[in-house]
Amino acid sequence: MRRPVIGRLALVALMLPAIPALAGAPRKSPGLWKKYDQEGSQALRAGRYVQAEKALRSAIREGEALGENDPRLAQSLDSLAWLLYRQGKYQDALKPARRALAIREAKFGPDGRPVAWSLSTLAVVLAARGRYTEAEPLFKRSLGITEAIVGDEHPDVSITLNNLAENLRFQAKYAEAEPLYRRALEIVQKHQGADTPDAAQALHNMGLLCQIQGHYSEAEELYRRALALRERGGAAYEPSDLAQTLNNLAELYRARRQYDEAEALFKRARDLREKALGPRHPALAQTLGNLGELASARHRFAEAEALLRKAMAIYEKALGPDHPLLSETISDLGALYRKQDRFDEAEPLSRRALAIQEKALGPDHPMVAECLDNLALVALGRGRMDESEALLKRALSIQEKALGPDHPVLARTLTHDARRLRQAGKIADAERQEARAQALRDRVARDVAAPKSPPIGP
């Protein structure tokens, strides 16, 4: 199961807070800093990134002239970090995010509200880099500061709740994430209304969690509600947000083998992302990888290989060689080669993907199980029966523990284990695994056949 995209522009469904007004600065700030900072912030909100970066770097130079710990400098640094994050330049965003946090802690102490803003900024960037365990305590600290200052139901609280939930979801801590998602949605709907950009993001994120948990009908309904808001929302909604929901709804359809519907939505998401974010953004790579996986499922192998290799090149340049999102595409390329009996090419890719996932996510994450399953099929194809058995047993154990014994994702691994058992001559055991897999698929088929909302048009 490919992990769907999470977030505004990034690969975590992280919500971008409004760029805060300067807190605690003198009422009369030097004109040049104010001019450049306002120009940069306005350009950032409007998506004019080249103009925004030029203005913000000028604001930083003017801010440095005001003093190395001046809070105006921290504001411009924080805005630059968000700009770089939105461009997919996650590594570059770390330095200004850390510097802004240090300035604000020195100026406002450990519990000032501007400190909470900078903690969230740094945590979002770390999460985008795949450093989830480092991000988690920063999100929690930001949440605690924000709740203490503005109360439990302020819109800023909903944003931090959402981002903490996203970070927990990436670590497969689904039981911890779900109440945070629900609380964030309740706050948004109560205080901002049911038809705002933040409401759409909260609906989207709840849909994502339901999809991961295997509740496909509920996920589809939530995605459709988010999509309806984003398609009619006008200037308040960014094209990349619409692409995010199109991509994840398409992935839901792919998981249910509704390939025609999935392909149409993936292509819309691809076009929107390329136009809004450019040809080298990780979010575009995610959709290209999804299209590649879909082409592989439809046995269009040459097309799949080209798409997956393009996605890998974007990921590796933007995120580095050890990011878990890159490893998903490496794993998919290995699976593509394995389907064509190209085992010499498939095995090193599958092993590389597994190593990255285990290092980044730990040995018991559901994404690790997918890598194990792919590697098990390579071993099976090469006649290494004992190795294949051990890998498949570990994959099933991880999936059952993390997702439950009735999750649709298990059908794939059960089917592969049945293939192994048949090859080993254990027909009765194979038939039991096949029956269990078929029961899970039948449940999904009933879900697909249930009455649905009208088709979504462009």
Q: Do the domain assignments include residue 5?
A: no
Q: Do the domain assignments include residue 211?
A: no
Position 457 scores a pLDDT of 42
Tokens coding 443: 């449940």
Structural domain of 87: 32-173+276-449
Position 25 scores a pLDDT of 44
Q: Do the domain assignments include residue 428?
A: yes
Q: How many angstroms separate the CA atoms of 178 and 276, rounded?
A: 31
> What single DSSP character describes residue 150?
H
Q: Do the domain assignments include residue 86?
A: yes
Position 294 scores a pLDDT of 97
Q: How many angstroms separate the CA atoms of 96 and 77, rounded?
A: 5
Which pLDDT band holds residue 60 (cuts at 50, 70, 90)? very high
Is 80 exceeded by the pLDDT of residue 449?
no
Q: Do the domain assignments include residue 284?
A: yes
Tokens coding 316: 């590796």
Q: Do the domain assignments include residue 268?
A: no
Give percent of the chain above pLDDT 70.
Answer: 91
Position 235 scores a pLDDT of 64
- pLDDT tens column, 205-246: 999 999 988 899 999 999 999 999 999 876 667 888 999 999
pTM to 2 decimal places = 0.85
| CATH number of residue 36's parent domain | 1.25.40.10
* Domain count along the chain: 1
Is 50 exceeded by the pLDDT of residue 454?
no
Q: How many angstroms separate the CA atoms of 242 and 269, rounded?
A: 8
Q: How many angstroms separate the CA atoms of 167 and 71, rounded?
A: 28
Q: Do the domain assignments include residue 267?
A: no
Is 90 exceeded by the pLDDT of residue 2?
no
More confident of the two residues 102 and 48? 102
Q: Do the domain assignments include residue 25?
A: no
Position 63 scores a pLDDT of 94
Q: What is the mean pLDDT of residues 8-13?
A: 36
Is 70 exceeded by the pLDDT of residue 297?
yes
Task: Provide the mean pLDDT of the chain.
Answer: 90
Position 21 scores a pLDDT of 46
